[in-house]
Structure 1
Amino acid sequence: MTDYSAIFMIISLMGVSSRALVSVMRRHRSAPPVAEQILDGLVLGALIAVGLIAFGARVTG
């Protein structure tokens, strides 16, 4: 269970950082609505989570 908790912590941190990156990249253009920023962050976080889970499953066999 400790492995899963660490994985979920990493996933949540990466989701937050990806959301921050999206907001920083979009700040140069016109600012999008907050809901759009949150949705983009959730989509990026989900993609990163799926990639991490697939990578972990491959490593552990």
Structure 2
Amino acid sequence: MPWRPMTPQDLAQVQVLADAIHVDHPEDAAVIAERQHLYPQGCLVLAEGRAWVAMRSPIPGGSGSRRP
């Protein structure tokens, strides 16, 4: 399964998927967009087939952290 970086064009489909998965804890579309904007290397979608999303947050002081 090839993954690719999530783009702003993916946000609507990501929102649909998030709403279906996190029924009891919905997130506003702006939150997902902000996450993609602030940490794009942690936001991936499947390049083909079904719509799946992988999102992670940077670990302070770890690899991928925004801190020096």
Q: Name the TM tier (shorter chain).
A: 0.3 to 0.5
| TM-score, normalising length: structure 1 | 0.40
Larger proportion of helix: 1
* Greater Cα radius of gyration, structure 1 or 2: 1
Determine which structure has greater relative contact order: mean sequence separation of CA pairs < 8 Å that are 6+ residues apart, divided by chain length. Answer: 1
